Structure 1
Amino acid sequence: MKAKPGNVCVKITSDGPITTYQSSLLTVQVNTKVGQITFLDSQGNVLLKEGGYTFSVITDGPDKGRFKVSQEFALEKEEPVYGVGLLQNGKMNQRGEHRLMIQSNLEDYAHFFLIY
């Protein structure tokens, strides 16, 4: 059975640098000054919150002129992290791993992750 898209009523409000998008089930807060996004359930509980990030230009080597990006998320103390692609490290849970996410013939990255 195919899911059919439906209409969702979304209320949009702004308060300083925070723009809030709220439906009956989900609230998304975007800090437009720093680009931080927070997802909350209908009760106001945080589902996922971005932490810090860095975005800098690579100044030497073969990747000169390209960008190095780092992004962090605030997770629960014991929350596992699954996804990020096909990795050859023998682990399902990637929490605590530091990975240089570049494609290679041994590792294939999908730039998203799942939290259960």
Structure 2
Amino acid sequence: MKHFGLIAVAAVFASCAALAAPQGFNQSAVPSGPAGFDNQAPNTVKGVLESAYDDQVVTLKGRLTNYLGDDRYEFTDVNGDRIEVELDDDHDWSNIAKDQLIEIVGEVDKDLMSTSLEVKRAAPAKN
């Protein structure tokens, strides 16, 4: 009877270990954390245009280079790529100027045919 009890206990432990092991994953790769948390937001205009998703918050460094009308401006990053940004007229933007190196924090607005940024915060960049 003792052997039967030991065999039963060993079988229970073995089946629990087999069921707890992830199925279909590469066991040789050591995960660095939960999936989806190591994705970094793009920090260039090109990155925003290529891989950002709608409503993603991004931080870019560059200059306001052109006024497009209403509260829309052209933002040119340090690599020379351009994107349309919206500076909400309810906010005081007097701390920044045309062609001044600034850092903006904005929310991506991705439509069917265009991508722009709704600027939440802008400040002179620290070199």
Q: Which has the higher contact order (CA 8 A, sep 6+)?
A: 2
Query: Whose strand proportion is higher, 1 or 2?
Result: 1
Scaled by the length of structure 1, the TM-score of the pair is: 0.23
Scaled by the length of structure 2, the TM-score of the pair is: 0.21
Query: Whose helix proportion is higher, 1 or 2?
Result: 2
